[in-house]
Amino acid sequence: MPYGSIDGVRSAPTILHLDMDAFYAAAEQAAKPSLRGKPVVVGGIGTRGVVATASYEARRFGVHSAMPVAQARRLCPNAAYLMPRFALYRSVSEQVMELLGRLSPLVEPLSLDEAFVDLEAGGVADDSVSARRAGERLRVDIRAVTGLTGSVGLAGSKMLAKIASEQAKPDGLVLIEPGTERELLGPMPVRILPGVGPATGEHLRRAGMTTVADLAEAGEDELVRLLGKAHGVSLYQMALGHDDRPVVAERDAKSVSVEDTFEVDLHDRVRVRNEVVRLSDRCVQRLRAAGRSGRTVVLKVRRYDFSTLTRSETLRGPTDDPTVVREAAGRLLESVDTTGGVRLLGVGVTGLADFTQEDLFAQAAGERAEAAEEAEDSEAGEAGKAGGAGGGGEPVAPVPEPPPERRWLAGQDVRHSVYGAGWVQGSGVGRVTVRFEEPTSPPGRVRTFKVDDPDLVPSDPLPLVRAAGDQVGSSPASRPKSPSEAAASEEAASGEAISSP
DNA sequence: TCTGGGGTCCTAGGACCC
DNA sequence: TCTGGGGTCCTAGGACCC
């Protein structure tokens, strides 16, 4: 047993959990001076979008994550509604993770804005005083480097560190002294425990358990009976404040998937097939970019009534061949009834193996032969019907991308040859409204252009913080661009069609 | 109010093998 | 002639997290 660990909790609060405050919205406010102190909602842009992050100003109106944007607009019509800009969030995230890496080799990112750090393993803390010092300094560094605030939780276990950071929000630090966890947890609602969501919470409530103390009192057997083996056992341990899960630095992804919700339900079967082909290709692109291959292809279909089903097929060996994935997904689609309309389609690959540059042609040919054989074996009469993407032996025709329609999206960075850097505030009826300001400028003015004004081009995010000493700033957004770099990235950005189903 | 997109883990039944 | 138990793989669905 590692020293200092009793009962599934360390004797010193040396596990740190960092959670950036309203991350996406805060990054947008940092990038757009006119939005500071104002309600900002980042989320899906279409009519079926949901809120990814609401700024604290917007939360006062009742807006929160996962809420349909349509509902958020009713609650808070005056907020700025912006599309997410993951390139920006990723570059800020890299800066933050770099700071965490200075504290310890054991950093476990949970998402772009959240991570666990094992301070003891990094040798920067071995008791409450040193842990608090490290946490406070981290918060100062994060603000200096990114211009954003993060909240820090410190405790003897992951679970408690996470609960602590939640309590610290926004812009705070909470340290839970080992030994105090049970009295602290006892009165809290069961929903604060990781793994207790709406369904489990309701289940427990019907059984008369609303607080963590209720769970500890119920006992392990009762929880297992109620929730099943794995869930029951782990929940009981959590309720006692026991959690000895280690901080794990890097974990390989176990699946890769892409999905699209359509603005309007799809009814045309040919269109559905084409979308499955496009999703297959996107999925394979991501798979290849990760240097992986996978053995099981999964098709996901959400129907008009929100009922969701998945179909999967396991191949003989791992693949990263777009044709193989297209054809498998196509076959799976043939087994799904889509009458009534399709709201969402998804294609994923699981059973990932490290990529090996094997004989992909042989692989593809083998799978095709197999498929053809199956088609012949089962229903000879069906063969004629299975045209298009899901068909048997014929090669799959490439599906053309939709025309490169130029849509100006709210929040998007742009540059005007006369007025300089700005962002799209809105567009419609052939016009686009741009506010000209930058992260380090005062709030700027608005101007309106025709949507096809040649002087207006998309551009990349600018650094949120003026590069000072620039020891940390090695990521794209934190580094000033040379004019040539800027021009090159502008071109790249405008060449990329905005994907909208 | 009308529900995103990317993941993880667990359960349960059936096939198949020993 | 009727009846085993265990282990692994595959498939489908569901809960949960950010």
What would the pLDDT profile of A388-413 be if each residue is shown by its tens digit? 333 333 444 555 555 555 689 999 99
pLDDT at A483: 36
Averaged over A190-200, what is the pLDDT? 96
Protein residue ranges contacting nucleic strand C, Cβ under 7 Å: A 66, 110-111, 113-114, 162, 194-201, 295-296, 308-314, 335, 351
3-class secondary structure for A381-423? HHCCCCCHHHCCCCCCCCCCCCCCCCCCCCCCEEEECCCEEEE
pLDDT at A485: 38
The model's confidence at residue A473, banded by pLDDT at 50, 70 and 90, is: very low
* Catalytic residue (choose from A28, A94, A114, A181): A114
Q: Does position A288 have pLDDT exceeding 50, yes or no?
A: yes
Q: A33 CA to B5 C1', in Å? A: 29
Q: A494 CA to C14 C1', in Å? A: 41
Q: Does position A363 have pLDDT exceeding 60, yes or no?
A: no
Containing A71, the helix (H) or strand (E) segment is helix A69-75
Averaged over A118-130, what is the pLDDT? 98
pLDDT at A487: 36
Highest mean pLDDT among A298-312, A358-372, A374-388: A298-312
Protein residue ranges contacting nucleic strand B, Cβ under 7 Å: A 44, 47-50, 52, 65-66, 68, 70-71, 74, 228-231, 253-261, 286, 305-306, 343-344, 346, 348, 350, 501
Q: Does position A475 have pLDDT exceeding 80, yes or no?
A: no
Highest mean pLDDT among A42-46, A70-74, A393-397: A70-74
Q: Does position A12 have pLDDT exceeding 70, yes or no?
A: yes
Find residue A300's DSSP bridge partners.
Answer: A310, A346
Q: State which nucleotides on strand C lie below 7 Å from a protein beta carbon.
A: 9-18
Listed in sequence order, the DSSP H helices in A243-356 are: 269-289, 322-334
The model's confidence at residue A9, banded by pLDDT at 50, 70 and 90, is: confident
pTM (two decimals): 0.85
Alpha carbon A118 to its chain centroid, in Å, reads 23
How far is the C-alpha of A423 from the C-alpha of A426, rounded, in Å? Answer: 9
Q: Does position A494 have pLDDT exceeding 70, yes or no?
A: no
Name the nucleotide with the smallest C1'–CA separation from A344.
B4
* Strands (E) located in A121-247: 150-155, 173-175
Containing A20, the helix (H) or strand (E) segment is strand A15-20
Residue nearest to nucleotide C14 (CA to C1'): A199
pLDDT in tens, A134-144: 999 999 999 99
Q: Would you call A114 a catalytic residue per the annotation?
A: yes
